[in-house]
């Protein structure tokens, strides 16, 4: 994760034996054996292939520009921009580690990483026809608390219950908070820090900001922050949990969404907790209650903060640097003469889905038997 920023990666078409043969072709007089070449290679910060955390649109653009650059001055300029980009990614990882250490030492600080796993399909039958037929999409949102001994929470549902957008992410976090915490008695303090990627449709949006304000007004926290990783360099602790699940999924037979939950629970080393999300758990948390000040583009900031002392203002930073000052934005204003209250003081919001979601006809498979099995999967999990 962190060290990979300083590691260099060779083409995935290469391997150690091929490189050794190329070395021997170029240095015909050398008597170095393969094991010597191998040992020297292992001492270098080299590897084959390119990791996911080091790949993003900007990195690819820098690589393309560098390949096409014709002058040394142009290459130096591109190299400086690329180095700045990687330093921002490194700063985000440093901030994640620092906050995790702070949460270990302070019981009133809670740091979580939030991420949505890739879609898991059921039933995962082995016959060839299944690749041409419709399968049920199962979703899993991981909420992993860092610096504490608590297991990661896996919020599981399928496409017959809800979609996978900002409503679902905010509702899962809200249910997790209500499951783990009770409203604070005054004058106690409690801080929540949320780390997530930059996905605008799920994490980086006004609905999440409304959720942050709501958690303050409901008394669960006195300060809520959200920090975004650099796009393309957003490897979070959730991804390690997903890797464990994916490894087990390859050897598991999943016929129904219930099998998905059982598969996630069956982790012998460090079990996860599964929260099965139902239709009534997804609330229509508003995305337009707060005032949207002109000039504020939440998709460009790296750090957001809302506090109980000043619930009317949103504080934002353009980077993860502690030396950068906060810029405040008025997001809500009390009526003249009214007693100051946080933007949210109601704890109930209407359901986002009144009933299970139907599977569209155009998505039903050609096989009637498979369609019946798919319908049964939905019914078993509701």
CA distances to 66, 99, 119, 304 from 47, in Å: 21, 30, 30, 36
C-alpha count within 13 angstroms, C-beta hemisphere, residue 370: 19
CA distances to 78, 157, 236 from 241, in Å: 36, 18, 9
- Tell me the β-bridge partners of 378: none
How far is 89 from 320, CA to CA, in rounded Å? 10
**Angle ∠(137,138,142) on CA atoms, nearest 5:** 145
Domain boundaries, the chain: 91-381
Extract the tokens encoding 197.
Answer: 């990627």
Q: What is the pLDDT of residue 64?
A: 86
Which residue is it, tokens 């704890």? Answer: 347
Q: Which residues of the chain have pLDDT under 70?
A: 1-7, 49-55, 130-131, 287-289, 333-348, 360-382
Q: What is the pLDDT of residue 260?
A: 95
Q: What is the pLDDT of residue 291?
A: 74
How far is 186 from 328, CA to CA, in rounded Å? 26
How far is 342 from 307, CA to CA, in rounded Å? 10
């Amino acid at each position: 994760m962190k060290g990979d920023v300083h590691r260099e990666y060779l083409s995935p078409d290469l391997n150690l034996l091929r490189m050794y043969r190329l070395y021997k072709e170029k240095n015909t007089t050398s008597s170095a054996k393969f094991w010597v070449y191998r040992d020297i290679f292992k001492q270098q910060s080299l590897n084959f292939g390119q990791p996911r955390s080091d790949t993003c649109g900007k990195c690819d653009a820098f690589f393309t520009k560098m390949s096409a650059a014709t002058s040394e001055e142009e290459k130096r300029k591109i190299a400086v921009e690329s180095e700045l980009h990687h330093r921002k990614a490194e700063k985000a990882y440093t901030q994640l580690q620092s906050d995790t250490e702070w949460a270990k030492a302070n019981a009133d600080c809670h740091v979580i990483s939030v991420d949505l796993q890739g879609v898991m399909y059921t039933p995962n039958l082995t016959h060839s026809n299944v690749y041409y037929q419709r399968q049920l999409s199962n979703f899993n949102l991981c909420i992993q608390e860092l610096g504490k001994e608590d297991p990661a929470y896996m919020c599981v549902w399928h496409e017959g219950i809800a979609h996978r957008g900002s409503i679902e992410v905010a509702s899962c976090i809200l249910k997790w908070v209500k499951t783990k915490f009770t409203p604070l008695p005054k004058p106690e303090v409690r801080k929540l820090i949320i780390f997530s990627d930059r996905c605008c449709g799920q994490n980086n949006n006004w609905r999440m900001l409304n959720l942050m304000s709501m958690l303050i007004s409901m008394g669960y926290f006195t300060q809520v922050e959200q920090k975004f990783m650099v796009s393309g360099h957003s490897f979070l602790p959730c991804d390690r949990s997903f890797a464990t699940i994916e490894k087990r999924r390859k050897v598991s037979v999943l016929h129904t969404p219930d099998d998905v939950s059982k598969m996630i629970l069956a982790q012998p080393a460090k079990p996860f907790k599964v929260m099965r999300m139902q239709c009534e758990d997804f609330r229509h948390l508003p995305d337009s209650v707060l005032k949207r000040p002109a000039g504020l583009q939440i998709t460009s900031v790296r750090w957001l903060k809302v506090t109980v002392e000043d619930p009317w203002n949103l504080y934002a930073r353009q980077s993860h640097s502690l030396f950068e000052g906060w810029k405040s934005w008025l997001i809500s204003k009390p009526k003249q003469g009214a007693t100051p209250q946080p933007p949210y003081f109601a704890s109930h919001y209407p359901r986002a889905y009144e009933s299970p979601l139907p599977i569209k006809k155009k998505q039903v498979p050609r096989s009637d038997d498979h369609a019946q099995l798919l319908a049964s999967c939905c019914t078993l999990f509701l």
